[in-house]
Amino acid sequence: MRYADTFQVTTPGDCEIELARDFEAPVQLLFDAFTKPELVRRWLLGPPGWSMPVCEIDLRVGGTYRYVWRKEGIPDMGMKGVFREIDAPTLIVVTEQFDVAWYPGEALNTTSFAQKGNVTRATIRLRYQSQEAREIARRSGMDLGMAASLNRLAELMAERSRNVTASTT
């Protein structure tokens, strides 16, 4: 797995993992990629071979989302949560809980977007209910899955940015 030069994974607190990556795309395009099902299912797939047959998003505070990932020979993996805060196009805060828990409790996922010039940084901070849960997540290889997903997202952003540029000329 190739990490992008701007991909960073840190542990800013005992219960947190933070992932960050820069994208050459306007902040609104990146926000849309995180909140529109037709875009989410194109990039949030983890390692190669996975698909997302279920991607439901009710984008409002108190609204819910549900994702189900599928790979041949492996049981489906489902996740759901509730939107706690939305400040479009710069902030999304949601809970995160897997159907079959592989770490204890749920996590709070805070995704922020900051644009400088033609580059937008996406920062995803996951706060787990315990240090034990954070360590299980850290050891799972989730950074590899997220790196693969964010590489796909970079390709999607490049494609969509070209389409926006072409439609304005």
Q: How many residues does the chain have?
A: 169
Does residue 151 surpass a pLDDT of 50? yes
Strands 74-87 and 64-71: antiparallel
Rg for the chain (alpha carbons), in Å?
16
Confidence of residue 77 (pLDDT cuts 50, 70, 90): very high
The first and second tokens of residue 54, run together, are: 């279920």
Confidence of residue 66 (pLDDT cuts 50, 70, 90): very high
Return mean pLDDT, the chain. 93
The first and second tokens of residue 103, run together, are: 């770490």
Residue 96 has what pLDDT?
A: 97
Residue 168 has what pLDDT?
A: 59
Does residue 75 surpass a pLDDT of 80? yes
Residue 6 has what pLDDT?
A: 85
For the stretch 134-143, pLDDT in tens is 999 999 988 8
For the stretch 4-43, pLDDT in tens is 688 999 999 999 999 999 999 999 999 999 999 999 999 9
Delimit the domains of the chain by residue range. 8-164
pTM score of the predicted model? 0.91
Does residue 1 surpass a pLDDT of 50? no
Task: Quote the CATH superfamily of domain 8-164.
Answer: START domain (3.30.530.20)
What would the DSSP string read from start to end of 98-167? ESS-SSSS-EEEEEEEEEETTEEEEEEEEEESSHHHHHHHHHTTHHHHHHHHHHHHHHHHHHHHHHHHHH
